[in-house]
Amino acid sequence: EAKRTGRGRAHEYSNELRADIETRHALFSEIGTAIDRDEFEAWMQPQVCAGTLRLAGCEVLVRWNHPTRGIVPPAIFLAAAEQAGLLRAIDMMMLSKGLDQLEDLRAAGIDLPKISVNASPATLHDPHLPERLIQEISSRHLSPQDLVVEVLESTLIESEDDMAARTIARIADAGIAVSLDDFGTGYASMSTLSQLTLSGIKLDQSLISPVPQPRAESIISALVTMSRSLGMTVVAEGIETEEQLELVAGMGCDTVQGYLIGKPMRAVDFHAWALNCHEETAGRRA
Ligand code: C2E
Ligand code: MG
Ligand code: MG
Ligand code: MG
């Protein structure tokens, strides 16, 4: 009986997997057209100060608004975009849309301090990236402090030369913050960390378990202490419960991001969320 259930599950799974491969294959061939048709949207997930819960920024996350499939999350198409050599184009589009949305939200009276964008390995290996970032900022009368570039820990390890490190240094020289994303999941050594001009780290969700775990807590607090002494800020990702919020706030994380605060949403919904958040924060403080 158990065996049959098991085999049934395996059968179901292989069908799902096949459908998934087909989906990915179909999507692969559609990415170029989708870029031309402007189907990629820049959704925004709020980040708030761990102590005050005031709006600290937002992360720009790509969503494919597919004409027949609906909203497709990045996990389904990022690898295909990378293989097609189109991930850099998507990153640049998210940068441009994100900055437009930042300007629009500010014009509408939302005090959004900055936006964070994700940089893929291909993006980080573009030698002109620093100039492109500066150009996007200055053409909008924004300032370097309005932007954070998130780089994956794995990008740094995979790059053989010190190209990525040099690009990061040039971005930092321009006054734009560079943050190490998914920290704790890769293998960045302490020496890598000390050599890079990083402004902060983002603690991966996997470090922050839904239930308190003494050993994980020790690791988080050691990472916070290390970041502090290197002059870096710490963002805790994937905060889903009040307990997690209290835990990371108590450990000295500066900023939190997660479903408890707000899910990724379109700019128009972010606008409404920010208005509501302002009232709630004011209410909590009162
Ligand atoms: P990431 O940069 O680490 O982004 C955080 C991811 O965690 C997002 O997934 C977000 O929706 C999710 N998340 C946030 N809070 C919670 C929470 O409380 N619980 C749970 N379970 N998840 C949470 P998303 O949007 O699906 O993006 C996945 C990854 O795709 C991102 O991870 C990033 O590596 C990549 N990505 C997204 N947008 C872009 C982009 O424009 N360019 C590049 N190169 N990569 C992107
Ligand atoms: Mg990120
Ligand atoms: Mg992350
Ligand atoms: Mg991630």
Residue 241, judged by CB atoms within 10 A of its CB (0-12, 13-18, 19+), counts as middle
Task: Find, among 107, 182, 117, the residue nearest to 146 by Cα.
Answer: 117
In which residue are the tokens 């492109």 written?
Answer: 132
First CA to last CA distance, the chain? 60
> Considering the entire predicted model, what is its pTM?
0.92
pLDDT value of residue 7: 45
Helices (H), 159-266: 163-173, 190-195, 214-229, 242-250
Select from 118, 148, 153, 263 the residue to mutate for testing ligand 1; criterion: most ligand atoms less than 8 Å from CB. 118
Tell me the pLDDT tens digit for each residue of 203-260. Answer: 999 888 766 677 888 888 999 999 999 999 999 999 999 999 999 999 999 999 999 9
Rounded Cα distance between 227 and 206, Å, is 18
Residue 176, pLDDT above cutoff 70 = yes
* Beta carbon of 153 within 6 Å of any ligand 1 atom: no
Atom 45 (ligand 1) nearest CA: 118
User: What is the distance, to the nearest Å, from the Cα of residue 123 to the centroid of all Cα atoms in its chain?
Assistant: 15
Q: Is the CB of residue 118 below 6 angstroms from any atom belonging to ligand 1?
A: yes
Identify the residue with better confidence: 18 or 262. Answer: 262
DSSP-assigned letter for residue 146 = G
pLDDT for position 16: 59
pLDDT higher for 10 or 186? 186
Which CA distances in Å does 255 have to 100, 117, 146?
Answer: 23, 16, 16
pLDDT digits (tens, 9 = 90+) for 21-71: 788 888 899 999 999 999 999 999 999 999 999 999 999 999 999 999 999
Work out the mean pLDDT of the chain and round it to a whole number: 89
Q: How much distance in Å is there from the Cα of 61 to the middle of ligand 1?
A: 6
- pLDDT for position 5: 44
